[in-house]
Amino acid sequence: QSVLTQPPSVSAAPGQKVTISCSGSSSNIGNNYVSWYQQLPGTAPKLLIYDNNKRPSGIPDRFSGSKSGTSATLGITGLQTGDEADYYCGTWDSSLRAVVFGGGTKLTVL
């Protein structure tokens, strides 16, 4: 049972937009920065978003992040088949004194 809650799966058509939610509490998302990762099959995770809404160099602006209260959202526009992957949110939990991840969301581009 993950501390952060994500939907197990989402799907959308190529070219469309999708959002992935990440729900937590005041001890994690509510008072700490959120990051998002993309993991393609058989590869290491890749940082997409850090500090809630910042993109590392090289990450296209099709990927966006936002946070409101104890929830965060990853948005992906202009979906491509290459975006099919597992997506994870992560943050620090001040009560647990631990890094926590969501359970992951599998994105299918139909």
Partner 1 sequence: QVQLAESGGGLVQPGGSLRLSCVVSGFTLSDFYMTWVRQAPGKGLEWVSYISSSGSTIYYADSVKGRFTISRDNAKNSLYLQMNSLRVEDTAVYYCARDWANVGFDYWDQGTLVTVSS
Contact between residue 69 and residue 30 where contact means Cβ atoms under 8 Å apart:
yes
Q: What mask of x and - would describe binding to partner 1 in positions 49 to 88, judged by CB under 8 A?
A: xxx--x-x-----------------------------x-x
**Is the Cβ of residue 17 or residue 96 nearer to partner 1 in the bound state?**
96
Contacts of 80 (CB under 8 A, 6+ apart): 14, 109
Least distance to partner 1, CB of residue 8, Å: 10
Counting contacts by CB under 8 A, is residue 45 touching partner 1?
A: yes
* Cα–chain center distance at 31: 17
Residue choice 68, 78, 80, 98 for contact with partner 1 (CB under 8 A): 98
d(CA 42, CA 67): 29
Q: Is 104 in the site for partner 1 (CB under 8 A)?
A: yes
